[in-house]
Structure formats: C-alpha cells, structure tokens
Chains A and B, each alone.
Chain A
Amino acid sequence: MPNNQAIVPAASEPAGAGHNEHPSYLLHHFQSVEQQADTSNFAMWLFLLTEMMFFGGLFTAYLIYRNWYYLAFVAGSHQLNVVWGTLNTVVLICSSFTMAMGVWCAETRRRSGLVLCLILTFILGLGFLGIKTIEYSEKIEKHHVPGFHYNLSSFLDPASDPEIFKEYHDKPLPLDIARHTELYFSLYFLMTGMHALHMIIGIGILGFMIFRARAGAYISGHVTFVENFGLYWHFIDIVWIYLFALLYLISRH
C-alpha cells in the first residue's frame, strides 16, 4: 500500500439510490446505506462511552485507595509479574493490530485476509486470557484472592516469598498496612476481571465472525459489523493499557 489513506465511498452504490434497489442489508427504516453505517457507528461509540464510565467508577476507587494506602499498593503491585504483564500488553497490542488489519481487509474486500486476521486476533485474545489464567492461578495459590482466606504472609514476612523477595527486597510491612493489600487485590481482580469478561465476550463474537467470514460475509462493502467490533476490541486494548500502567507499574524500583 503505497498510499495508506485511500478515500473510497463506503457503500457499493451511489448515495441517494432509489428505494427499490437497495441492498439486502439495508434495514427498512433507513434511507441509505451511509445513514445506516453512520448510525451504527455512532451508536457503537456511545456504547463505548458508557463502557468508559463503567470503568470510571473502578478507576475512581483505585485512585482514592492508592492515595490512601500507597505502601500497600506498592507491595501488592510487586506481587504481579511484570514479565507476564508486559507480554500480555504486547499480545493485546498485536491483537489490536491484527483486528485493525482485519477491518482493512474487509473494507478492501479481501476474504482470505479477513479470515486470517480474525483468526490471528482470536488466537492472540485466547493467548491473553491464557496468560491471565497463569497469573490468576499464582494469586490463588498464594491466597491473594480477597474474601477467600486472604493470606498476608507475603507482606508481613516477605522472605517467605523468595521469588518476589529476591527481586525487590521488600521490607516487612506492619500489619495495619499489610491488611490494606487486600484492597489492592480487590481492585486488581475487579478491574482485570471486568476487562477479562469483556475479552471473553469479544472472543465469543470473534468466533462467530470467523465462522461468518469463512462463509463470505463482510466483504460486500457492508462492513459495519466488523468495524464496530473493531472499535470494541480496540477499546478493550485501551483499558488494558491503563490497567497495565496503574496496576503493574506502581513502583518497580
């Protein structure tokens, strides 16, 4: 692609085409394909805004407690594996890229490219969840899940947790500070859990899309569904970019 910003009309037919000859995917209450595409695109954006406000409540809680219990948050953050976190960020960014490529393939009507991109996105999404599962199971092993026999020993006595201790040489936390690491992990599980839930929903839809794309859908010029799903997928990516910065990288030095 020498020129990466080609401007082509989105619809397969000129605007203002007669009512009788509209394509099958044009719903009855719309006047034109553009109107329909615009509408669903804008609706998707509004939906993403509600998603943003949904996470907004969690971010607010996070910022308050981080300010209150900074030391506990640092200690809690040291429990997260920055390698896994970085890897997951890379995986998610790549999946965002393949998704964007998928949208481009759909727009330029490349069926096999579209299917390939969707499958790659699907695999990367699963990879992200796989890594997340590894991380979660580490937390479960150490009893760092709030509400389920939450265990403070990694914070009261860091040496009992040699892997982490080797890296950060954390000082033992007093009990009253160590107790607040539970809030950190509550927020960690809430935020990443909500994020993972969105991923799972996204992967489900991706599976459906792969199935349909193999049957030849989305390359007729009517790419609204792919585009909107792309928006959703990128939004999840953005959320993760912030989660990574806030949860993993509090204080690593």
Chain B
Amino acid sequence: MSEQNGHAHTIVGPGVYVAILFALLAGTVLTVWASFVDLGFWNPIIALAIATTKATLVLLYFMHVKYSTKLTKLAIAGGVFLFLTLVSMTLADYISRAWGSW
C-alpha cells in the first residue's frame, strides 16, 4: 500500500469535456483540410502532428492522465517509448539497407 499519495480523486467536469470535444472536432476538420493542400514532404508530418495533438488531448483530459499519479504517467511514457522503439529501430534497418551495397 505504497504510492497512496494524491488520494483525492479528481473529477473532471463537463466544461472541460465540451471544450475538448470542440478542440477534437476542430482538429479533425483541420487535418482533413490539410490533406487536400499539397504540402509535399510536410503532408504526412502535419497529419501525424495533428493526430498526436488530438490523441494527447484525449489522453490528458478524457482519460484523466493530467490528474493521474506519477506512476500512471511514467507507465504511459514507458509504453510510448517502447512503441517508438519498435517502430523506429525496425525502420532504421529498412532505411539503412539502402545506404550501401554490402
């Protein structure tokens, strides 16, 4: 029964939820609009950036991470880090295969 700090449970109210809802809807509109504009190299990056922003909003407010314990935050950070490791280290192989003719 360690880590019982911060034991008051935070209740996030409808105001925040409504605000987040509109932010998410705005993000959706924005990302669809951005995809119809030719930004070349930046198109996928912007799409992913908007998606990440939306996901972060959902995480922080709908999923209450903002009010969670450090442990939860750490666990999520660790999980995301490992997810990125899986993707990036696998991609590193595929990208660097083309670097030289071995």
Contacts and interface: CB of A to CB of B under 8 A. Distances in A.
A and B touching (C-beta < 8 Å)? yes
Interface stretch (A18-26, A49-57, A151-159, A206-214): A49-57
Contacts of A4: 12-16
Interface in A55-75: 56-57, 59-60, 63-64, 67-68
A68 B10 CA distance: 47
Interface stretch (A120-128, A171-179, A191-199, A238-246): A238-246
Contacts of B1: 31-32, 35
Interface residues of A, number: 63
Given A9-B7, A35-B1, A35-B4, A253 B35 contact: yes
A252 interface: yes
Contacts of A86: 28, 32
Interface stretch (A100-108, A129-137, A140-148): A100-108
A96 B59 CA distance: 11
What does DSSP make chain A's interface, helix, strand, loop or mixed? helix
Nearest to A113: B14
Interface residues of B, number: 57
B7 A63 contact: no
Contacts of A104: 11-14, 17
A97 B79 contact: no
A59 B86 CA distance: 10
Nearest to A1: B13
A5 to B, nearest CB: 6
B17 A56 contact: no
A152 to B, nearest CB: 25
B99 to A, nearest CB: 14
A101 B78 CA distance: 28
Given A42-B72, A63-B91, A5 B12 contact: yes
Interface string A219-253: 00000000000110011011001101110111111
Contacts of B25: 90, 93
A251 B11 CA distance: 41
Interface string B46-70: 0110110011001101110001010
25 contacts: A6-B11, A10-B9, A41-B72, A52-B80, A56-B86, A56-B87, A59-B83, A60-B86, A60-B90, A64-B94, A67-B91, A86-B32, A90-B28, A97-B62, A100-B62, A104-B12, A104-B13, A107-B11, A237-B62, A238-B58, A238-B59, A245-B31, A245-B50, A245-B51, A253-B36
Interface of A: 1, 3-10, 15, 31-32, 34-35, 37-38, 41-42, 45-46, 48-49, 52-53, 56-57, 59-60, 63-64, 67-68, 82, 86, 89-90, 93-94, 96-97, 99-101, 104, 107-108, 230-231, 234-235, 237-238, 241-242, 244-246, 248-253
CB-based closest 8 A-B pairs:
A10-B9, A4-B13, A49-B79, A249-B35, A4-B15, A1-B13, A253-B38, A245-B51
